[in-house]
């Protein structure tokens, strides 16, 4: 758009993945391969209690009996799970730093380059609207900012490995309560080997005083990232959480298999936003992250509300269905998604809304953008159980095609077991036409800017759900992802 | 301002313009008339730089510059405006967004800073008022669901906002009722100035009753076959084009 900063234009011209650098840092990486011994090693390394090791081993044994899912509309060579290293951490983090001053400057520099200046974050407190940040580098959490301020409000925001030590009863009560250890192939793998991630607990009646966010970064070669995030909002609590993801540019594929569990009790609200920009691979489809993620929110309480907002621009392959279980009466589930597939990227993404309680409502807005040879599928399930009197769902599913070598596919599934349910579904497919670009250019607007303007217009409904400062980021990210898509 | 010499152009392998000459000086209004399919829109698109419109011979200079080597957006930034015969719909992008992006792109080209958000709104609302366009329409998608007449008025609105040096209006008067025609003419007249020029592509004398042209040309078979003053338009209205082609 006209307000685009100069550096964005420059970026678009250079057509590069700006998070694609590698941090030269000494790491301790467990040799590739998965076995009970590796799991015991990870667990011992983190000084975990027995119950957690048991949870991991149960999951591992289940995983061994499971098959990789094949139903998604994506294609890739078989993954060799024995070639992946399941744990890597910068040497300097062997002892968790107590404050930012103890963090290796090289790590801080990495986040600075990614636009997440941890130091300034703390210093700017009280000036700009503050955002508390947890950062996860390969398998471990680097630092969490604003802990003190959050603690004053009673909010817990820390790496999940720390929560296991400090708040074991909370973790034990909720971990695996939304996504059971054997839920699916990748969730089972994650349950067996998860290394770090964020833990959030907002007590009764507390409105979290700031945005919370986690930045995930994969750095090491041949390393998988298996983070686990658990967010609990007690009665009447509110929290808005954002995750961002990047990885270096590498020729081989890397696996990212996360699990996110959200629990909202009576009258609680959780807003979960994702700006996913994992390395997507090059134009020929070499390299890139396999993003196989299980995200699920449980509206356990009455009148609770969970919103998923995602902007998915990265990854070679995305396989992801953030879902809501609407258990509490009058609870609300929302899913707002923008997914981009350019070059050889593939995405099979959507949501599941499971209506259990009475008067439960769900909204699905999915915006898919395909360019180059990108292949994208929307896969959504709306299930209304016998108990869900007066359930409502509205689904809107729009695809935008740029060029004629890409594809968009829609797979909406509905299962309705209560006749009072009302479901609406709308779907459209459109193209950025040559004459639209010409029309804009005839007014003085460059082709890149015209594409970015049209794409931003297409995504408006979703962007307005993101926290303000990230909405702008997301728009820029989209423009960069689509560089070279036309012409 | 605009000098077209011996212009030949092909579209989809077909020769459409076959040696066209036209000179437009600052302050002038030229009307181009001619039978359907004679190449009027082709000329307009060649001047605006549409892809697929290949110039095979001839030159076009605009304000001393070789127009043909510039991409469409640079031509617009240099002050060339094309009012489309068939304005394009861009759902999801509001008229305001398009206008602001266009205005700022052109300002940037001139080395001017971005326009202040409030100044912009005041300016666009003023232009919309002249064109009888409801301010609410400004927030709707570009031409999205607009009637034929609304689209044409929207083209003139864009012209008023952007203040081009040379406006080529391709059949902006077609499909307008008399009231809308008067509004469009008012928009054009408002912009008439000694430093500006217009090329009006039209089929009808009607528009020329409200916007007095200095020159009238007949385009037939890819060339200007006759030029004259305003009286030529009235003659054409009476006799049609047949007598020219026969001649
Ligand atoms: N994109 C195109 N592909 C093929 N033929 C075209 C195209 N555009 C215009 N033409 C042809 O070029 C000729 C001139 O068209 P046009 O310039 O639109 O005429 P006018 O505007 O004078 O009615 C017509 O014969 C038309 O069919
Ligand atoms: Mg025409």
Structure confidence by residue, pLDDT tens digits, A66-96: 988 887 777 878 888 888 877 776 665 556 5
Distance CA A10, CA A259 (A): 36
Residues of chain A with pLDDT > 90, as a percent, come to 41
Q: Tell me the Cα Rg of chain A.
A: 22
pLDDT of residue A132: 62
Express each pLDDT in A388-443 by its tens digit.
Answer: 999 999 999 999 988 888 888 889 999 999 999 999 999 998 888 889 999 999 99
Residues of B in contact with A443 (CB under 8 A): 73, 76, 98, 101-102, 105, 158, 162
Instruction: Kindly write down the DSSP assignment for every residue of A209-243, as one continuous string.
Output: SSEEEEEEE--STTB-B--EEEEEE-TT-EEEEEE
For residue A246, the cross-strand partners are A217
Express each pLDDT in B39-72 by its tens digit.
Answer: 999 999 999 999 999 999 999 999 999 999 999 9
Q: Nearest chain A Cα to B103, which residue?
A: A444
Give the model's confidence band at A124: pLDDT under 50 very low, under 70 low, under 90 confident, else very high: very low
Instruction: Kindly write down the DSSP assignment for every residue of A340-351, as one continuous string.
Output: EE-TT-EEEEEE
Higher model confidence: residue A103 or residue B81? B81
Contacts of A232 (CB under 8 A, 6+ apart): A170, A174, A200, A201, A202, A262, A263, A265
For residue A145, the cross-strand partners are none
Asked whether residue A282 carries a pLDDT value surpassing 50, the answer given is yes
Question: Which of A175-179, A346-350, A353-357, A465-469 comes out lowest in average pLDDT?
Answer: A465-469
Q: For residue B39, give the DSSP letter.
A: S
- Which ligand places an atom closest to the C-alpha of A435? 1
Q: For residue B26, give the DSSP letter.
A: T
Residues in chain B: 247
pLDDT of residue A314: 74
Q: Is A399 exposed, middle or buried (0-12, 13-18, 19+ CB in 10 A)?
A: buried
Q: Which of B8, B11, B17, B221 to mutate to test the pocket of ligand 1 (most atoms within 8 A of CB)?
A: B11
Give the model's confidence band at A266: pLDDT under 50 very low, under 70 low, under 90 confident, else very high: very high
**Distance of CA B71 from the midpoint of ligand 1 (Å):** 21
CB within 8 Å of chain A, chain B residues 44-63: 48-51
Q: Give ∠ CA B170-B176-B179 in degrees, rounded to 5.
A: 125
Pairing of strands A211-217, A228-233: unpaired
Distance CA B137, CA B11 (A): 35
Would an 8 Å CB–CB cutoff place B111 in contact with chain A?
no
User: Terminal CA-to-CA distance of chain B, rounded, Å?
Assistant: 31
Average pLDDT of every residue of chain A: 81
Number of helical (H) and strand (E) elements in chain B, helices listed first: 9, 12
Give the model's confidence band at A15: pLDDT under 50 very low, under 70 low, under 90 confident, else very high: very low
Distance CA A128, CA B23 (A): 58
Give the model's confidence band at A172: pLDDT under 50 very low, under 70 low, under 90 confident, else very high: very high
Neighbouring C-alpha atoms within 13 Å toward the C-beta of A353: 32
pLDDT of residue A271: 96
Give the model's confidence band at B7: pLDDT under 50 very low, under 70 low, under 90 confident, else very high: very high
Chain-chain contact of B114 with A2 (C-beta, under 8 angstroms)? yes
Distance CA B227, CA B244 (A): 11
pLDDT of residue A22: 57
Asked whether residue A108 carries a pLDDT value surpassing 70, the answer given is no
Can you tell me the mean pLDDT for A163-173?
96
pLDDT of residue A123: 39
A115 min Cα distance to partner chain B (Å): 26
Helix H segments across A298-402? none
Residues of chain A with pLDDT > 70, as a percent, come to 77
Distance CA A318, CA A289 (A): 8
Contacts of B70 (CB under 8 A, 6+ apart): B49, B78
Q: Cβ distance A347 to A315 under 8 Å?
A: yes
pLDDT of residue A252: 66
Higher model confidence: residue A269 or residue B236? A269
- Residue of A442, A448, A487 to mutate, testing the B interface (most B Cβ within 10 Å of its Cβ): A442
Distance CA B102, CA A441 (A): 9
pLDDT of residue A2: 32
What residue owns the CA closest to ligand 1's atom 19?
B37
Question: Which of A237-246, A256-265, A439-448 comes out lowest in average pLDDT?
Answer: A237-246
Instruction: Kindly write down the DSSP assignment for every residue of A65-103, as one continuous string.
Output: T------SS---PPP-TTSSB--EEEGGGSSPPSSGGGS
- Which ligand places an atom closest to the C-alpha of B84? 2
Contacts of B88 (CB under 8 A, 6+ apart): A433, A435, A436, A438, A439, B142, B143
* CB of B38 sitting under 6 A from ligand 1: yes
Express each pLDDT in A287-335 by its tens digit.
Answer: 777 888 899 999 999 999 999 999 888 777 888 899 999 999 999 999 9
Asked whether residue A142 carries a pLDDT value surpassing 60, the answer given is no
Would an 8 Å CB–CB cutoff place B112 in contact with chain A?
no
Express each pLDDT in B102-120 by its tens digit.
Answer: 999 999 999 999 999 999 9
Helix, strand or coil for residue A366? strand
Helix, strand or coil for residue B202? coil
Can you tell me the mean pLDDT for A279-284?
73
Can you tell me the mean pLDDT for B168-178?
92
Q: Cβ distance A418 to A384 under 8 Å?
A: yes
Q: Give ∠ CA A426-A179-A260 in degrees, rounded to 5.
A: 75
Give the model's confidence band at A17: pLDDT under 50 very low, under 70 low, under 90 confident, else very high: low
Contacts of B103 (CB under 8 A, 6+ apart): A2, B115, B120, B161, B162
Tell me the torsion sign for CA atoms A382, A386, A387, A393. Answer: positive
Q: Cβ distance B22 to B4 under 8 Å?
A: yes
Neighbours of B100 (CB within 10 A): 22
Q: What is the maximal distance between C-alpha atoms in chain A? A: 68
Question: Which of A136-150, A293-307, A336-350, B156-170 comes out lowest in average pLDDT?
Answer: A136-150
- Which ligand places an atom closest to the C-alpha of B172? 2
Express each pLDDT in B63-93 by its tens digit.
Answer: 999 999 999 999 999 999 999 999 999 998 9
Give pTM, 2 decimals: 0.80
Distance CA A468, CA A470 (A): 5
Give the model's confidence band at A103: pLDDT under 50 very low, under 70 low, under 90 confident, else very high: low
Q: Cβ distance A364 to A395 under 8 Å?
A: yes
pLDDT of residue A291: 82
Give the model's confidence band at A7: pLDDT under 50 very low, under 70 low, under 90 confident, else very high: very low
Residues of B in contact with A1 (CB under 8 A): 97, 100-101
């Amino acid at each position: 758009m006209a307000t685009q900063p100069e550096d964005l234009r420059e970026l678009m011209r250079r057509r590069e993945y700006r998070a694609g650098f590698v941090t030269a840092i000494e790491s301790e990486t467990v040799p590739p391969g998965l076995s009970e011994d590796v799991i015991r090693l990870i667990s011992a390394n983190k000084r975990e209690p027995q119950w957690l090791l048991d949870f991991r081993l149960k999951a591992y044994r289940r995983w061994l009996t499971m098959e990789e899912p094949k139903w998604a509309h994506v294609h890739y060579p078989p993954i060799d799970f024995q070639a992946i290293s399941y744990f890597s951490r910068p040497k300097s983090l062997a002892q968790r730093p107590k404050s930012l001053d103890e963090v290796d400057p090289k790590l801080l520099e990495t986040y600075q380059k990614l636009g997440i200046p941890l130091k300034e974050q703390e210093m700017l407190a009280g000036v700009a609207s503050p955002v508390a940040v947890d950062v996860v580098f390969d398998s471990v959490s680097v630092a969490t900012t604003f802990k003190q301020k959050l603690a004053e409000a009673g909010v817990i925001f820390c790496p999940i490995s720390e929560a296991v030590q400090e708040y074991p009863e909370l973790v034990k009560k909720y971990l695996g309560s939304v996504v059971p250890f054997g839920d699916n192939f990748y969730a089972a793998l994650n349950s067996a080997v998860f290394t770090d991630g964020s833990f959030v607990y907002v007590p009764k009646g507390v409105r979290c005083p700031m945005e919370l966010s986690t930045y995930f970064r994969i750095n090491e070669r041949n390393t998988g990232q298996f983070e686990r995030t658990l967010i609990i909002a007690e009665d009447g609590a509110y929290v808005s959480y954002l995750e961002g993801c990047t990885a270096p540019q590498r020729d081989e594929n890397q696996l990212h298999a996360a699990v996110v569990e959200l629990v909202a009790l009576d009258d609680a609200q959780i807003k979960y936003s994702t700006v996913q920009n994992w390395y997507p691979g090059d134009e020929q489809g070499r390299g890139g992250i396999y993003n196989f993620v299980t995200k699920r929110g449980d509206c356990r309480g009455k009148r609770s509300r969970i919103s998923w907002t995602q902007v998915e621009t990265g990854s070679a392959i995305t396989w992801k269905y953030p879902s809501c279980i609407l258990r509490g009466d009058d609870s609300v589930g929302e899913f707002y998604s923008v997914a981009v597939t350019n070059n050889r990227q593939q995405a099979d993404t959507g949501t599941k809304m499971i209506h259990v309680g009475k008067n439960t409502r769900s909204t699905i807005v999915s915006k898919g953008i395909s360019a180059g040879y990108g292949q994208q599928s929307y896969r959504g399930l709306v299930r209304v159980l016998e108990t869900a009197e007066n359930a409502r769902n509205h689904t809107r599913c729009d695809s935008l095609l740029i060029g004629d070598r890409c594809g968009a596919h829609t797979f909406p599934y509905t299962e309705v077991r209560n006749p009072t349910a009302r479901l609406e579904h709308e779907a459209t497919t459109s193209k950025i036409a040559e004459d639209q670009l010409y029309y804009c250019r005839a007014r003085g607007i460059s082709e890149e800017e015209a594409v970015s303007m049209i794409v931003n217009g297409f995504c408006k409904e979703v962007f307005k759900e993101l926290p303000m400062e990230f909405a702008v980021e997301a728009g820029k990210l989209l423009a960069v992802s689509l560089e070279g898509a036309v012409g | 301002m605009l000098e077209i010499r011996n212009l030949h152009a092909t579209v989809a392998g077909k020769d459409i313009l076959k040696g066209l000459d036209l000179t437009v000086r600052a302050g002038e209004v030229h009307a181009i008339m001619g039978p359907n399919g004679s190449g009027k829109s082709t000329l307009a698109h060649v001047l605006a730089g549409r892809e697929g419109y290949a110039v095979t011979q001839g030159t076009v200079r605009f304000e001393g510059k070789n127009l043909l080597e510039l991409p469409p957006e640079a031509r617009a930034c240099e002050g060339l405006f094309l009012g489309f015969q068939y304005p394009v719909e861009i759902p999801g992008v509001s008229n305001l967004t398009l206008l602001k992006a266009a205005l700022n792109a052109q300002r940037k080209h001139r080395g001017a800073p971005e326009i202040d958000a409030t100044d912009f709104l005041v300016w666009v609302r003023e232009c919309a008022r002249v064109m009888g366009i409801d301010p609410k329409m400004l927030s709707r998608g570009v031409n999205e669901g607009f009637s034929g007449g609304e689209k044409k008025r929207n083209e003139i609105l864009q012209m008023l906002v952007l203040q081009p040096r040379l406006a080529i209006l391709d059949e902006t008067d077609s499909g307008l009722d008399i009231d809308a025609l008067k509004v469009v003419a008012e928009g054009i007249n408002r912009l008439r100035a000694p430093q500006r020029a217009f090329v009006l592509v039209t089929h009808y004398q009607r528009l020329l009753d409200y916007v007095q042209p200095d020159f009238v040309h007949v385009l037939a078979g890819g060339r200007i076959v006759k030029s004259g003053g305003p009286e030529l338009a009235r003659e054409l209205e009476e006799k049609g084009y047949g007598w020219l082609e026969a001649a």
